[in-house]
Structure 1
């Protein structure tokens, strides 16, 4: 049995797989609110502790010596034997060790292996894990934004994913298979493309010393763009302000924008989609990822109607003299929000085999 995990700033997803050579469905999965736990170890203790089903029939043991009646056994279930584990972590991983970016956690793969008696534990950057996962996705788990005309010989692939933060990764072809490279590209400097985005940068800089792409391309980033539009356009309806104050700001803004219920929310999503496309195009240019750009993370599937209305691809291809080249690059939206978990499981399966 192998254990896979996708550790994000909002949710931690864990799963057990009986994975040998090819992708299989998990035997058991469970999600945990990350910020309600002090560490990954605390979550693993809860997930891996054997549970006795409340409605399980009693096990009848053989009669004991000198007794004519059978006895009732209360033997606890056997613990699951884990042969390998891999966790995708939202933060930099160096020598199997990580301090998570959006959580106050420290993860040590070797220490986890020792504590939970697992022969091999590997930590990966979460986007590196997702990159392994996109190679195993089925056609129905992708939405094509741009079919493009990729070259017949294999070139690099890019992955960009917005959620609690912004992650980026590049996959290069080594002659036999694609190899993902970890990256912290989401923390590079935000580069505005027009006067409106320049004013957005000024607005966000009034709150942060450094404005990265993650500050505007993430759940909190949607809220940051909304606050900029609110403060400049003065067009926030009271009912939406109350919903944002009481709930999840990004979710409330997205819902209002997709339904066309508030101009301020629509303007926010227009700006978000354009900047998202522009940074995806930047990543494609930097690595010449002519075989495709995959747009993952938790936000993209939820904003599918907005990302398919043209704003994203206009931002993607708006690269001056390179517009024609950009239009040849395939662009896909990843619909499966467990892609990182699939990639972690594939890595754990290879660890178990070796």
Structure 2
């Protein structure tokens, strides 16, 4: 699903696994790596972010030399976007590096099946072979988009994230949950370790939706008219917000306006559409409950919220029932009070995470 995690790592040349981390200057790694520049891309259901990256001198960080964000709906496919990016490079101060490009790391929503990256929220199919052929590259390695973001959060500083819930105790080392709603509902877990961290891909967004209020029970009944399995992603995503709005218009007996998820969010923030306001309130409440469940499931010691929606609704999220629902886990409330929740901008994190993972994975090549 668009921006959710369930993907086996794939490489056109070698097997793959996980590790690495992001520092304030890029991605931290251990050991020497070739200083050859390569492409790193982060492809979600709505946007694709592409960067030209290179290992910094001394092998301690990755530098993003050139970066561009694309709207997926405006392009015929990922090969066309990558081709445009390379064309930009040829007209940039980095033109001399284009002849050296032989590798590409892609963080993409969905999962790999043979030559294809399968995802129902992408506007077009993705073929690994077609990308390699179009770019003339030696190797294309694939990691899930939320795994890449999780990989990149290891060295995020305090100034890079906004606090949503403060911990009642000093930080404790342990699993880190990274999740967030966008085109879909992504989730991954960073597992600290030596010599490097590992990342656990999850399909947590497909867990059955668990209503926590009478209103949410009514909404679930309406959702179940369309499908027998209703997941959290059916409510906690851009399309999910649209469904929530439609259901609440029906329950309120008012006419549903033909709005996009972004327009519903804007109407809720402006306070000029009661159904939109309630839809966003339900969205935040369900999110708090779901995040609390995942913290308990994975024994997380910290949470980073990402995705494309939440940075746009920070004040609303803080004023919502998110925290109340997050803590509402009975005897486990004391545990949750020790787990901080922070909000991060997606930005270049996926690109940097994919690049750092690739460098750690292929540093001996």
Q: TM-score, normalised by structure 1?
A: 0.83
Q: For residues 1-354 of structure 1, what are the structure 2 equivalents within 5 Å?
A: 1-20=37-56, 21-49=59-87, 53=91, 79-93=98-112, 98-103=117-122, 105-107=124-126, 109=128, 112-113=131-132, 115-149=134-168, 154-235=173-254, 241=257, 244=259, 249-290=260-301, 292-351=302-361, 353-354=363-364
- Distance in 2 between the 1:298 and 1:155 partners? 26
Counterpart Cα distance in 1 of 2:60 and 2:180: 25
TM-score w.r.t. the length of structure 2 is 0.80
For the residues of structure 1 that align with 2:63 and 2:247, how far apart are their CA atoms?
43
Q: Distance in 2 between matches of 1:181 and 1:204?
A: 30
SS at match of 1:191: coil
Q: Deviations over 1:63-120 (max 9, x none)?
A: xxxxxxxxxxxxx977342253211111124678521231264445566446534343
1:80 and 1:309 map into 2 onto residues whose CA distance is 52
In the alignment, the residues of structure 2 paired with residue 341 and residue 220 of structure 1 have an alpha-carbon distance, to the nearest angstrom, of 25
C-alpha distance in 1 between matches for 2:175 and 2:169? 11
Aligned residues: 325
1:146 Cα deviation (Å)?
1.5
1:172 and 1:53 map into 2 onto residues whose CA distance is 41
SS in structure 2 opposite 1:192? coil
Alignment RMSD: 2.7
Separation in 2 of the partners of 1:53 and 1:175?
42
Change (3 A) 1:333 1:50: closer
Q: 1:331 to 1:28 in 2, by over 3 A?
A: same
Asked if the contact 2:79–2:130 (Cα under 8 Å) also holds between the matched residues in 1, the reply is: no
Name the larger-Rg structure.
1
Per the alignment, do residues 344 and 53 of structure 1 end up closer, same or farther by CA in structure 2, a change over 3 Å counting?
closer
Deviation at 1:341, TM superposition (A): 1.8
Q: Which runs of 5+ in 2 are unaligned?
A: 1-36
| SS at structure 1 position matched to 2:98 | coil
Q: Is the 8 A contact 1:2 1:349 kept in 2?
A: no
- The 1:192/1:43 distance shift into structure 2, 3 A limit, reads same
How far, CA to CA, are the matches of 2:185 and 2:211 in structure 1? 17
Q: 1:213 to 1:45 in 2, by over 3 A?
A: same
In 1, Cα distance between the equivalents of 2:113 and 2:154?
A: 24
Write the deviation string for residues 231-276 of structure 1: whole angstroms up to 9, x where unpaired.
Answer: 1113458xxx26x2xxxx1111111211222222221111000001
Using a 3 Å threshold, how does the CA distance of structure 1 residues 344 and 77 change in structure 2: closer, same or farther?
Answer: closer
- Counterpart CA distance in 2 for 1:155 and 1:115 is 42
